[in-house]
Amino acid sequence: MAERLSAEARKAALLELLPGWTDALGREAIERTFVFKDFNEAFGFMTRAALMAEKTDHHPEWRNVYKTVEVVLATHDAGGVTALDIGLAKAMNAIARQFGVV
């Protein structure tokens, strides 16, 4: 099982994920909203992120409406944010950059 990050470690990791990722209000998680040019780009992002999530066996909570993808990351069995979440957030940032989203 992955170990939950301390508050200091999570804060340091969030600094590496700027701009975009923040602490989720009211829960032990991080979140980000990605806005793409259109639905096709948003769906392409989700497809690529899903492949990464499957590869790491760590899956996001997410919601898609047209060109917007809202993502929440937490490791449920650890009760908060772990290195798995930070790694997936970094991968999602890299995928989003391929679509011109910073």
Is the pLDDT confidence value at 102 over 90?
A: no
Q: What is the pLDDT of residues 10-58, one digit of tens each?
A: 999 999 998 899 999 999 999 999 999 999 999 999 999 999 999 999 9
- Please write down the HEC assignment for all residues of 37-70: CCHHHHHHHHHHHHHHHHHHCCCCEEEEECCEEE
Is 67:20 a contact under the CB 8 Å cutoff? Answer: no
Is the pLDDT confidence value at 66 over 80?
A: yes
7-98: CATH superfamily:
Transcriptional coactivator/pterin dehydratase (3.30.1360.20)
Domain ranges of the chain: 7-98
- The whole-number pLDDT of residue 41 equals 98
pTM of the model: 0.95
What whole-number distance in Å separates Cα of residue 58 and Cα of residue 56? 5
Is the pLDDT confidence value at 95 over 80?
A: yes
Is the pLDDT confidence value at 74 over 90?
A: yes
The rounded Cα 14 to chain-centroid distance in angstroms is 11
The conformation of residue 28, written as its DSSP 8-state character, comes to: S
- Average pLDDT score over the chain: 96
**Phi, psi dihedrals of residue 27, rounded to the nearest 5°:** -160, 165
CA distances to 8, 33, 68 from 39, in Å? 37, 14, 8
